[in-house]
Amino acid sequence: MRRFLQPQNLIPVAIIAAVAAMVAYANVRDGRRSRRPYTAAPPIGAPGAPRTSREDLDRRVAEMDARLAKHPEDAGAALLLSDALLRQTRITGNPGLALRAEQLLTRVLRDDPGSYDGNRMLGAIYLSQHRFRDAIRVAEKNRDARPYDPVNYGVIGDAHVELGHYDEAFAAFDRMMQLRPSAASYARVAYARELQGDLAGAVEAMKLAAGATSPTDPEALAWTHSQIGDLYFQLGRHHEAKTEYAAASQAFPGHPFAVIGYAKVIAADGDVAGALELLRRLAENSPTPDLAARTGDLLRQLGRRDEADRQYALAEAGWRGDAPEPKNLARFLAEHDRKIPEAVAIAEAAAADRRDIFTEDALAWSYFKAGRLVDAKTAIAEALRTGSRDATIRSHAAAINGASTALASR
């Protein structure tokens, strides 16, 4: 672990920063004074920008759409619109919004390939689309142009994390912390600690992220409090988890991370019907494959198997189509004993592209369900290599190791 990921080096500072998982752009006026018209305004979540409530985000999108309808060449409006669309992607689960943001940026960069702001936003969009190597390529180019901009190191680190390149990721997060402790850098420290099994340290860092987030950015506050809730849930501290999810909902009513988190806690505490109702209401506005899978699991707990199967079909279709995510699909198929040979093929293809612990876990569980115990042991060892305390990975490891022990004792 690099030194800036250690607790003693996390110095609280009151820096207002944009949301940790999304990347805001800055310096919108640099090199642009010759281009007119050019809409210049603080990006979403930055000081002086409009609030990030659901209504304010809708308003920003409408305003920039109207501006671009009158002035299609307004690169500033395109950047601001892309910024807002990225944030809306997170709260709706609609991948089409990120695609539209990319199309907007493509036009900006066609006219001005050297646009630093446009290229930096492009890195964030590639992350949201799971185009991690493209995100690294763009962010490294931006880093070379402006080596003291911490945002680029966040994008580089995020992409390396998703690819399973943890040393490179943590080095990038270290540099980000060196350059500017902020909500964004604290959140990345928290995730690095979580990956390494230090959940208490992750809570500490994520609380610093919450404290460094602007009160005018309620969407980021909701996201951050939801992450703290998830960490408390992993620690088995359900009361604290519910408190954090409630704080997230107060900041941004109906935020999907808060609703899903709260439903998860009350289901674990025995209120399965209440959790199901929360997820169903959320699905009316923000349907995702993950939400369908969670809903199906709750329905199955209640013995409503036909309804559960319909939700599982939606989840599978979503992960194959609108929101393709091979590791999630493979794990889902294996966990629900559906199409196991295909689950293995999907997981193997995913692991050939990325070696993060969650992809390795999906591969291990697919092998296990296919009866390939030796291969499962090899893959689960890779899933455990960072020291993560993820409950699903740990439960899969226990099952695989138990089966191996039983086989050896025959």
How is residue 192 written in tokens?
Answer: 């690095």
Which one-letter amino acid corresponds to residue 372?
R
Rounded Cα distance, 383 and 398, in Å: 12
Q: Please, which pLDDT band fits residue 41 given cuts at 50, 70 and 90? A: confident
Which one-letter amino acid corresponds to residue 14?
A
Question: Of 99, 129, 159, which marks where a domain is finished?
Answer: 129
83, part of any domain: yes
Contact status, residue 183 vs residue 19, Cβ threshold 8 Å: yes
Question: Of 62, 97, 129, which marks where a domain is finished?
Answer: 129
Rounded Cα distance, 36 and 76, in Å: 10
Q: Please, which pLDDT band fits residue 7 given cuts at 50, 70 and 90? A: very low
Minimal CA–CA distance to 54: which of 210, 207, 249, 241? 249
CA of 298: how far to CAs of 174, 288, 316, 329, in Å? 40, 16, 16, 18
Q: Which residue range(s) make up the domain with 120?
A: 18-129
Q: Please, which pLDDT band fits residue 322 given cuts at 50, 70 and 90? A: low
303, part of any domain: no
Looking at residue 385, its pLDDT comes to 98
Which one-letter amino acid corresponds to residue 221?
L
Q: Please, which pLDDT band fits residue 189 given cuts at 50, 70 and 90? A: very high
Rounded Cα distance, 383 and 285, in Å: 34
Torsion of CA 47, 190, 245, 292, to 10 degrees: 110
Question: Of 129, 144, 165, which marks where a domain is finished?
Answer: 129
pLDDT, average across residues 197-201:
98
Contact status, residue 49 vs residue 43, Cβ threshold 8 Å: yes
401, part of any domain: yes
Q: Please, which pLDDT band fits residue 16 given cuts at 50, 70 and 90? A: very low
Torsion of CA 109, 114, 117, 120, to 10 degrees: 90
Minimal CA–CA distance to 251: which of 227, 278, 231? 227
Structural domains of the chain, count:
2
Per DSSP, 17 falls in state B
346, part of any domain: yes
Rounded Cα distance, 120 and 142, in Å: 7
CA of 292: how far to CAs of 12, 295, 301, 324, in Å? 39, 5, 14, 14
Q: Domain of 344: which CATH number?
A: 1.25.40
110, part of any domain: yes
Lowest model confidence (mean pLDDT) among 76-80, 224-228, 372-376, 381-385: 76-80
pLDDT at 30 over 60: no
112, part of any domain: yes
Looking at residue 324, its pLDDT comes to 76
94, part of any domain: yes
Strand extents, DSSP E, 196-263: none
- The distance from CA 70 to its chain's CA centroid, rounded to whole angstroms, is 35
Q: What is the DSSP string of 282-328?
A: HHHHS--HHHHHHHHHHHHHTT-HHHHHHHHHHHHHHHHTTS--HHH
Torsion of CA 135, 331, 343, 98, to 10 degrees: -30
Q: Is the peptide bond before 113 cis (omega within 30 degrees of 0)?
A: no
pLDDT, average across residues 311-340:
92
Q: Which residue has the higher pLDDT, 297 or 37?
A: 297
pLDDT at 221 over 60: yes
Torsion of CA 59, 60, 65, 67, to 10 degrees: 110
- Through-space distance between the first and last CA atoms of the chain, rounded to whole angstroms: 41
Mean of per-residue pLDDT scores for the chain: 90
Minimal CA–CA distance to 150: which of 15, 44, 9? 15
296, part of any domain: no
pLDDT at 33 over 60: no
Give the pLDDT confidence of 131-188 residue by residue, as tens digits: 999 999 999 999 999 999 999 999 999 999 999 999 999 999 999 999 999 999 999 9
